[in-house]
Amino acid sequence: RMEGDAGSGQLTPTPPLTADETVEPDTELSVPASRLADGRWLYGVCAAIGAAALVLAVSGVLALIGHHRTGTAINGEAAAVAAAKDCIAATQAPDMKAMKDSQRKIVECATENYAPQANLYSSLLSDAYQAVQAQVKITDIRAAAERHNPDGSIDVLVATRVSMSNADRQNQDISYRLRVRMVQVNGTWKIDSIEPVGK
């Protein structure tokens, strides 16, 4: 009887596998191929991200350089305009008592190229003040950059209005405009030339 049971048990067919239990013969071979494909895809993604990051980094550096150059140019222009305004103001000494300081300032403001004219002007200015007993008051002075030149110099327009008194006249208003070419010498903006500008 036990043998019969055993025999009938051996003859009982094994129940079929369900869909979830189905074993695919190529599963072991397909996994490495899938992993290889995933690896290549991951490498491609990383390479693309790296390239994009490099482009962004280069763009950022170029933008910073451009911003730095722009900032430097703006700062240089502002310094040149301020120096032109200050130097032209020195040509309008209030009176003879202030003439010595004005003469020194005029000479300090000049480049080697403009030094002869600056020395001559300061000498003539002193003689003129003394001759007519001049008193000068700057009532308005404005300056703005007109042009950046290829050699690095900057042309600055300076408009000045003064009230002048002398032995014959009192509080005479005089206005004039000058084109002042500013050149940087050892980090300091100086006058390289002065040209009158018509109104």
The DSSP string of 59-74 is HHHHHHHHHHHHHHHH
Cα 115 from Cα 103, distance rounded (Å): 12
At 34, the pLDDT band (50, 70, 90 cuts) reads low
Chain centre distance of CA 129: 44
The pLDDT value given to residue 169: 82
What residue type is assigned to position 28 of the chain? E
Which residue has better confidence, 22 or 92?
A: 92
The pLDDT value given to residue 22: 47
Contact 135/114 with Cβ under 8 angstroms? no
Instruction: Quick: pLDDT tens for 102-130.
Output: 999 999 999 999 999 998 888 888 888 88
Query: Per-residue pLDDT averaged across 62-76, rounded?
Result: 58
At 3, the pLDDT band (50, 70, 90 cuts) reads very low
Query: Per-residue pLDDT averaged across 122-143, rounded?
Result: 87
**Tokens 């018509």, residue?**
198
Whether the per-residue pLDDT at 16 is higher than 70: the answer is no
| Partners of residue 155 on adjacent β-strands | 147, 181
The pLDDT value given to residue 47: 66
Instruction: Quick: pLDDT tens for 161-174.
Output: 999 888 788 888 98
Closest CA to 121 of 9, 17, 196: 196
Read off the pTM.
0.62
Contact 80/144 with Cβ under 8 angstroms? no
Which residue has better confidence, 109 or 1?
A: 109
What residue type is assigned to position 136 of the chain? V
Cα 50 from Cα 3, distance rounded (Å): 73
